[in-house]
Every structure is written in C-alpha cells, then in structure tokens.
Amino acid sequence: MAKTTENILPSGEKEHVTLHVNGEDISLLIEAHWTLSKVLRNGCSLTGTKEACDAGACGACTVLIDGIARPACMLLAREQVGKKIETIEGLEKNGQLHPIQEAWLEEYGAQCGFCSPGFIMTTKALLAKNPNPNDDEIKEALGGNLCLCDNYEHIILAVKSAAKKIAKGGK
Amino acid sequence: MKRFTHINATSAEHAVSCLQEYKDSSYVIAGGSDLLGCLKDNLWMQTPEAIVNLKTIEGLSYIKEEGSTLHIGALTTLTEVAESSIVKKLAPALAEAARRTASPLLRNMGTLGGNICQENRCWYYRYPSKLGGRIDCVRKGGTKCFAVIGEHRYHSIFGAVNKCIAVNPSDTAPALIALNATIKTTKRTIAIDEFFSAAHGAGSTILDRDEIVLEILVPVAAKSAVSAFKKIAFRKSIDFALVTCAIALEKDADKITAVRICLNGVYNNPMRSQEAEEFLLGKVLTEDIAKEAGEIALQNAKSLFQNIYKVQLAKTLVADTLLSL
C-alpha cells in the first residue's frame, strides 16, 4: 500500500497540529515522540497537569480524552489530534469552580495538592459514569491515582460530597 | 524518549508494510502503556526508528458474539473487555482478568491485543538506562541472568528459558488459555496454547516481526461450563501479579468432564497444568480434591531461595479458584 505523507511524521521533523483542549483549538508544532503531558505543559502552558512518575503509574497527569480518564504522560500528542482533551484548567467556568473542585476545598481533599488535578479529573470521569458511587466503587475507580500525603480518607469524602453537589444541580 | 518516526497506519496491510520496510527497527503502538515505558527506559539494544500507530485503523475495536464464538478486536481496551456484559456472561474469567489488570487509568488505554504481547517486567531487563546505564542481561543478548544470582523474589518457580527466569506479566493470558482462545493475526490463526513462547524473544510470543494480532476468538462453551480467574498481588490495583490462576470447567452431574487450568506469574510462559487437569477429570469437586489439585499443579516447581513462597501461593490459589467455581 502506498505511503501517504499525511500519515507519516519523520524523526526529528516537526508538524503543525491542532489539539482540541478544554473547548478551544490550539495550534502547535510538535515532534513525533512528544507526550501529551509535555505538550500540555510546555506548548499550551497548561501546567495543572502534573508529571511525576512518567510511567502511567501515579495518575498525576490524568486528563480526559473524549471523556475517558487516561494518563497524559503515556499518550503521544500526535495521536490525540481530533479528540476532545479536558484538563483541570477546563473545569472552572467564569470564575466559578466546578462542584468537584468546591468539594475538594470543603473536604480538605488536597494536602500538598500535587495529586489533586489527577484525582479530580478521574473523579469527573467516575461521576459521569456513576453519579452515586459507594466507597468500594470510589476506591476502585481512583485506584490508578496515588497521593503521597496519604490523604485518601478526605479524598473519598470529597468525591462523595461532589456527587451530592452535582446531583443537586451543579455541573 | 529518543526521537522516532511516527506513522498513522490506514489499514492492517499498511501497518504490516511499514513493519516490513523498517524491519527490526519498528514497533506497533496500540494503547502504548507498555511500548512508551520501554521507549522511555531505552530498553532495547537498538532504538526503534519507526512507531506504527494502529489506533487509526478502523474496525479493530469490538466485542461481538457470532455463532458459538466470542470475537474481540485486538484494539478493544481492557476496560471495555472488563465491563462488557457479553464477556461477563460468556467468559467471566476473561472479564475478571481484564478487571484486575493494572490500574483503571491504564485499563482505559491498554488493549487486549497489547496485553498478551507485552514485554516482560523483570526489573533487571527493564532497568532504566538513565540510572547508571542499562543492564545487559541474557534476554538482551548478554551472557547471564542477573536475577538468578540477584533479587528474584518475583521470578520463575519453574526454572529458566534460555537462562532467563523472568515471568510472563499478562493477566489476560491465563484466562485466554483456560478458555482455549484462538488468536487471529495478519498472517495466520494461532491456538493460544502455541501463542506464547519466551524462547522466541521480544513480547514472549511466536509472532513474527511483521505480524500483528487482529482478533481474539473465545469459544463459547456449553451452558454447564464455568470459568474463574484469581490474582494475588501486593496491591489490588497497579501491581503486576505474584501469581494468577484461571480455570475453565465443565461438569456433568457434579463430575468434572472437562477442565483447563492455567497459572501465570510462575514461569516465562503462562503455564497450563495438564497433570492437575487429568487428576480432576471424573472427580467431584471437594475441598480435599481442590487442595490435591493444587499440590499436583506445583509438584514440579523448582523455586529459588527468595521465591519459594510463590509455590505455596500458587498451590493455594489453584485450590481457591477451583472452589470458587
């Protein structure tokens, strides 16, 4: 089968792509081996997405790709063209925090706060799928996110509080 | 990560032609959770020149029942496999194995095809080159296995293949073996019993370098058939298994008429225990019989001094899985 030039990005060369991040189209020059987390942080200045383990094991870089929570450090930026990318920066609307973020503040979901963007994005995907999760379901869904402050009790409370807020009509 | 050429494949044939063009210096990427880890750690002797993206090929992600076979596309994510009502009903061992693989975030990107073709997780083999240089073990073309003389608490308890005592890390592999699945690739159809071969090198499968898994076929067994999967790992999510066990079983008036038992995490390849299967045929399942099956499955174990505990774990796990059926 013939190769088409649009399908190939040679090593060392850059390509113009448009990523759809938080409802906006962002034009970028990227290389083939750049991960989404690097591009979000360095190219889009969206530093809310954290990089820690760089191996997909800690969940600090979690973003939503078409509504599904995935670790951005294990995704190639070039493969995310045409997908809806949602980061922690997209949650706040017109100066109003997202109910999950409010719940995080009220229930002390963050201690040092480094893991919170990842946890909050995973929580958003969980609550979209299961609006009223029990403790076990929360623990299972957040299993890929690590908190080194060991703040898990508060995080579970925050997720439950967020579920209640969203049920009451927050968005 | 070092630079590479990235190709979005338009079809399976296109992907194969790319692999043939770049020969040994190319890899395919599906979910990427294993491949990007390998690239970041600069694992291989030769940095790959080209990465071929399979996600741009249409129609490789599906779960459907056709006739008496369950068809699962190679690019179906583990989350989709774990949550599918069809898989849960027809192949519960596979659904449970997929559910217990890695973490929810990784299951959202990891694919079933990738899970059975992943590189092994031996910590000498995967040692990152940025921390004091790569360890050239026997699997990478060196002369010895560092795990035998070093830390081998998670390694093989059934000896070595080509001097290497790393274990197969896949959780879905034992479930697919117990369910007697078939793997369809771009070249041929392979029975799952022949699919895994650590002696063949990278990925621990018999696949050629220009061969791609397209579909996993699971026969839908008789109504009396049941299957189960159990995994022991330190943490419930994320961790690779110490031992996993999958069993598929058919009964007629309480007597076992057909059984397939597969252990993983104990040897370079997922390990079927034919002795235990033969022992169970025609028997009525009781606690004593299940325990004895566990003993028989592990009778040829050759543990090293740090991993002797895995023998006991595996014996118990075989019995537990049998009793859960």
Q: Could you read off the pLDDT of A53-77 as tens digits, one per residue?
A: 999 999 999 999 999 999 999 999 9
Co-location of A129 and A84 in the same domain = no
> Would you call B3 and A32 a contact, using CB atoms and an 8 Å cutoff?
yes
Instruction: Check whether residue A49 and residue A103 sit in a common domain.
Output: no
Domain containing A58 equals 14-90
Per-residue pLDDT at B253 exceeds 90: no
Domain boundary among A90, A118, A134: A90
Model pLDDT, residue A2: 44
**Rounded Cα distance, A157 and A143, in Å:** 15
Selected residue of A38, A76, A124 to mutate for chain B interface (largest B Cβ count, 10 A): A76
Residues A91-99: what's their mean pLDDT? 94
Return d(Cα A171, Cα B205) in angstroms, integer: 48
Residue B200: pLDDT band by 50, 70, 90 thresholds? confident
Together in a domain, A76 and A115: no
Separation between Cα atoms, residue A136 and residue A154, nearest integer Å: 15
Exposure string for B40-74, b = 16+ CB within 10 A, e = fewer: bbebbeeebbbbbbbbbbeebbebeeeeeebbbbb
Kindly report the CATH number assigned to the domain that includes residue A43.
3.10.20.30
A64 and A115 co-located in one domain: no
Q: Are residues A107 and A162 part of one domain? A: yes
Q: Give φ, ψ of B324 to 5 degrees.
A: -80, -5
Q: A42, A124, A30, A22: which is closest to A83 by C-alpha?
A: A22
> Closest Cα partner for B122 from B147, B99, B101?
B147
Q: What is the Cα–Cα distance from B7 to B15, expressed in whole angstroms?
A: 8
Closest CA of chain B from A64, distance in Å: 10
Residue A1 lies in a domain: no
Q: Is residue A9 part of a domain?
A: no
Interface predicted TM-score (ipTM): 0.93
Q: Do A140 and B14 touch (CB under 8 A)?
A: no
For B12, what's the count of Cα atoms within 13 Å in the CB-facing half-sphere?
15
Query: Is A59's CB within 8 Å of B109's CB?
Result: no
Q: Do A19 and A74 sit in the same domain of this protein?
A: yes
pLDDT, mean over chain B = 94
B-chain residue closest to A70, CA distance: B105
Q: Which two tokens stand for residue B22?
A: 């770049």
In a domain, A26, yes or no: yes
A84 is a domain residue: yes
Q: Let me know if residue A2 belongs to a domain.
A: no
Strand partners for A25? A20
Share of chain A above pLDDT 70, in %: 95
Nearest to B211 by CA among B191, B231, B185: B185
pLDDT attached to residue A170: 64
Phi, psi (deg, nearest 5) at residue B37: -60, -45
| Least CB–CB distance from A78: residue in B6, B10, B49 | B6
Angle at Cα B39 formed by Cα A83 and Cα B141, nearest 5°? 150
A-interface mutation test, from B105, B108, B118, B236, most A Cβ less than 10 A away: B105
- Residue A1 clears pLDDT 90, i.e. is over it: no
- Smallest CA-to-CA distance from B265 within B191, B218, B318, B227 is with B318
- When CB atoms are compared, the residue of A10, A31, A56 closest to B33 is A56
| Domain end among A35, A57, A90 | A90
Q: Among A34, A63, A90, where does a domain finish?
A: A90
Cα end-to-end distance, chain B, whole Å: 46
Which residues partner with A93 through β-bridges?
A: A96
pLDDT at B223: 81
- Our measurement of the distance from residue B266's CA atom to the centroid of its chain's CA atoms, rounded to an integer in Å, reads 12
Residues B103 and A59: beta-carbon distance below 8 Å: yes
Residue A155 inside a domain? The answer is yes
Minimal CA–CA distance to B122: which of B219, B198, B46? B198
Q: Give which of B213, B185, B172, B212 is closest to B87, Cα–Cα.
A: B172
- Our count of domains for chain A comes to 2
- Residues 15 to 34 of B: which have CB under 8 A from any A CB? 17-18, 29, 32-33
**Nearest alpha-carbon partner for A121 in A52, A42, A48, A62:** A62
- Do A107 and A85 lie in one domain? The reply is no
- B164 bridge partner residues: B161
Rounded-to-integer distance, Cα B44 and Cα B32, Å: 16
Task: Decide if pLDDT at B201 tops 80.
Answer: no
Same domain? A55 vs A83: yes
Q: Is A145 on the interface with B (CB under 8 A)?
A: yes
Yes or no, beta carbons of B103 and A143 under 8 Å apart: yes
pLDDT tens digits for B272-301?
999 999 999 999 999 999 999 999 999 999
Q: Would you tell me the crossing angle of helices A152-167 and A99-106 to the nearest 10 degrees?
A: 140
Residue A49 CA to residue B113 CA, distance in Å, equals 29
Distance between CA atoms of A65 and A78, rounded to whole angstroms? 13
In which order are the strands placed within the sheet that holds B225-232? B225-232, B243-252, B255-264, B271-272
Stretch A121-148: mean pLDDT: 96
Burial of B38 from C-beta contacts in 10 A (0-12 / 13-18 / 19+): middle
In a domain, A121, yes or no: yes
Which pLDDT score is estimated for A171?
Answer: 57
Task: Report which of B307, B286, B310, B287 is spatially closest to residue B298, judged by C-alpha positions.
Answer: B310
**The predicted structure's pLDDT at residue B46:** 81
Asked whether residue A6 is assigned to any structural domain, the reply reads no
What span, in angstroms and rounded, lies between the C-alpha atoms of B34 and B36?
6
Q: What is the CATH number of the domain that holds A114?
A: 1.10.150.120
Measured between beta carbons, the chain A residues lying within 8 angstroms of B7 are 3, 7-9
Distance between CA A75 and CA A2 in Å, rounded? Answer: 27
Residues A113 and A143 in one domain: yes
DSSP label at residue B23: G
Q: Looking at the structure, do residues A73 and A19 belong to the same domain, yes or no?
A: yes
Residues of B in contact with A7 (CB under 8 A): 7-10, 14, 56
Specify the range with the lowest mean pLDDT, choosing from B36-50, B141-155, B183-197: B36-50
Cα separation, B170 vs B29, in Å, equals 17
- Whether A71 sits inside 8 A of B109 (CB atoms) is yes
Lowest model confidence (mean pLDDT) among A5-9, A139-143, B123-127, B172-176: A5-9
* Distances from the Cα of A155 to the Cα of A59, A109, A170, A171, B234, angstroms: 14, 5, 19, 19, 22
Residues A66 and A118 in one domain: no
Are A80 and A124 in a shared domain?
no
